[in-house]
A and B are shown apart, each in its own frame.
Chain A
Amino acid sequence: MAQLQLKDVNKSFGDVHVIKNVDLEINKGEFVVFVGPSGCGKSTLLRMIAGLETLTSGEISIADRLVMDLPPSKRGIAMVFQSYALYPHMTVYNNMAFSLDLQGFSKSEINERVTEAAKILQMEHLLDRRPAALSGGQRQRVAIGRAIVRDPEVFLFDEPLSNLDAALRHDTRVEISKLHRQLGATTIYVTHDQVEAMTLADKIVVLKEGRVMQVGSPMELFNQPENEFVAGFLGSPKMNFFDGQLVGSADFQGDDVSAQGARLVSTEKSAGDNVKLGIRPQHLVIDEQGALAGNVTLVERLGTETILELLTPGGTLFRFASAESLDVEVGQDLRFSFDAAQAHIF
């Protein structure tokens, strides 16, 4: 049975329909990441699970209990906010002890739990400090510690890393991932950073304008996107799309490129329909005999990767990414081939 279940959940703010018919099941111990562009409703969905927003319609159950009428504190969740939301006038210890104190735990038990959480997060030396005397990363850990002491059924994180600099973000990401393995707690994690999503998640939920676009493991989503949005959203640089027509059952015929035997994503398309062919920049191969021609308009050397931006003779922009440091210049004409099995028709 699912640890967390959402059934036909809807949310409107006045006339604005923000969450649309979301159905979702999350199993015990799973690390689930909600991704999507800004404003797609990730935070709202998370806050509905937390009990900070009411549902317009639908059902949410946590550990087999319907929780719609329960206050946040009774739902068995703990939440880490994007802004940390630490209590500024309390020490780190008291920040973590606050919820336990409110629940009426004894002093010794509170002490035990707080020390334990502090040990897990390696911040025993910070317990007497005020949040103002902590660095961003330390504050983040206190916020996580505050969640851990509550021993919740489900951890909720709303973009917990977005205030950290790149290096710290990476470290904390690794730490959160370790922590999840260590605690084995069911976790929902909101981000709009696809790297975080890909690296952390057991299961990714891609949202767009309040609708779930696809649910699945990171590699599933990467290799078998169910729609153009998911395909374009995951992966960096973005997937290339070419306009054309569907020919036969799974052949693509376009002005710039053609492909035989690509993966047909949509079942509703039939021969002659306008479709798009999607190929990831990494799946292109430089090939003198290749079908795809392009003129280099931009060369980006990232050190680990070289990214070319090209224009087809038909005027479609596409990208090519290679781990090699290529010897190309702007203005040069290149030809590419690709394995049709790695291409998608949308």
Chain B
Amino acid sequence: MISRTLKHVVLALIVFIWVVPFVSLVATSLRSELASKTSGFWTAFTPTELGHRFSTHDRGLDEPVLSIDGNIFDRINLTEEDFPVSGTVESVLFKGRVADPENPGKTQLIRKLVPPGEAMSVRDGELVFQPNGDYILTFDEPTIPKPKNLDVFINQDPVFGAAAYEEVLLENEDVPNALIASFIVTIPATIIPITIAAFAAYAFAWMRFPGRDWLFVIVVSLMVVPTQLAFLPILQGFSGIAHWASSLNAWLTDCELSNSCEVASKSYASLWVTHTAFGLPLAIYLLRNYIVGLPRELLESARIDGANHLQIFVRLIVPLSVPALASFSIFQFLWVWNDLIVALYIGPNNGEDLVFPIRLQQQLGTFKDQLHLLNASAVISMIVPVVVFLAMQKYFIRGLLAGSVKGG
């Protein structure tokens, strides 16, 4: 009983630790620039008292008037399109001269917060406002008053807007390009290794060939090779290949004419190859361990039914390994999607082809003071794996083997 409660507490704690940064990121990206700069994201969800400034009316009245009415919120929102202000008006700051009660005949400069319903003097008239923002400014005789800017304190309702997303996605092509580039890198870099690994895993699990176990040990031990260690040889390799491809290009086509023989050594293809190479050991290891656990009699049954290795693989192993394939796909997708270092060293380095993490890293410099924009980019890059995960969720089926063997 205690252990169950403890489990729940720990679980709640983990959820909390994971969710808070996410909420902070999303909340900030949905706030106005001002709000994100001046207050923490946790204040975004409850009404907060904030100061605003509004002008009583527009410049250029041409007829004398006895009164002017309007609404404070409407006046403020003339300039706040993306994050309209709403809530209740708490007070308006009065700043001006009033009769001094201690020195009759003299005036004194005072500042005071005028609550709703109380008259205050503005441009020789009287201004009265209501909590809902309606105000009326009345004069004794027809006048043409100049507009007056007043500071108002509003208990403001939470307000969110997608302005930052619009700006990031539409105003220039950096983020859209980064999205496309990341997909171009990630999808093949997920599918290629998982395909190769599935075949290899089957062979390691169920085919007999000399040196099988040793080979498997070698493959598994490759998992511990740090990516960084391999950069230099990989780069050398790719530039060698690029050099060779350039010569071939020159030899086979008439690219000399347009001076376009150069084949880039850092390209999407080099990223695919590198991610495949680094993803394979883990993929093979995970998949083999799953596939080797499939009931032996199932495969024997298929052999008796006349299936060869390829048929067993395609018609039995693959459908039954869907959960393992799905979980590795997610691993690899996440890893490639979030990868910065490999993309930085080995990926294409011209502006349009930069993948998302590199773009984010650059934005860290350019958007240093625009947290809402930075966070909007970050959320866009995060949302993709989340969507992928949710889409794959239905493949994490437990009990896929149910009904096959006893007890199932």
Contacts and interface: CB of A to CB of B under 8 A. Distances in A.
Nearest to A98: B305
Contacts, number: 86
A99 interface: yes
B306 A103 contact: yes
B302 to A, nearest CB: 7
B403 A130 contact: yes
B402 A132 contact: yes
B320 interface: yes
A81 B301 contact: yes
Interface stretch (A71-79, A176-184, A193-201): A71-79
A88 interface: yes
Interface string B63-95: 000000000000000000000000000000000
Contacts of B301: 79, 81, 85, 87, 146
B7 interface: no
B304 A82 contact: no
Interface string A90-103: 00000000110011
Interface in A23-80: 50-52, 71-73, 77-79
A221 interface: no
Nearest to B401: A88
Contacts of A78: 304
B229 to A, nearest CB: 41
Interface string B281-314: 0000000000000010110111111110001000
A163 interface: yes
A119 B315 CA distance: 27
Interface string A108-136: 00000000000000000000001111101
Given A83-B406, A89-B319, A99 B305 contact: yes
A77 B297 CA distance: 16
Contacts of A81: 297, 300-301
Interface in A240-266: none
B400 interface: yes
A102 B300 contact: no
Contacts of A73: 303-307
Chain B interface residue number, banded: 20 to 34
A83 B401 CA distance: 12
B6 interface: no
Contact of A132 (B298, B300, B304, B408): B408
A71 B399 contact: no
Nearest to B311: A102
Interface string B376-408: 000000000000000000000001111111101
A271 B340 CA distance: 92
Interface residues of A, number: 32
A86 interface: yes
Given A52-B300, A85-B301, A99-B306, A134 B295 contact: no
B287 to A, nearest CB: 17
B316 interface: yes
Nearest to A134: B403
Nearest to A78: B304
Given A87-B298, A87-B316, A102-B311, A79 B403 contact: no
A86 B404 contact: yes
Given A132-B403, A134-B403, A102 B305 contact: yes
A177 B33 CA distance: 83
B406 A82 contact: yes
Contact of B307 (A89, A102, A146): A102
Contacts of B399: 132
9 contacts: A72-B303, A83-B297, A85-B404, A88-B320, A88-B401, A132-B402, A146-B301, A146-B305, A163-B406
Interface of B: 295, 297-298, 300-307, 311, 315-316, 319-320, 399-406, 408
Interface of A: 50-52, 71-73, 77-79, 81-89, 98-99, 102-103, 130-134, 136, 139, 146, 150, 163
Given A73-B305, A139-B403, 19 more contacts: A50-B304, A72-B303, A77-B304, A79-B301, A83-B405, A84-B404, A85-B297, A85-B405, A86-B403, A86-B404, A87-B404, A88-B320, A89-B400, A99-B306, A102-B307, A131-B404, A131-B408, A132-B399, A136-B406
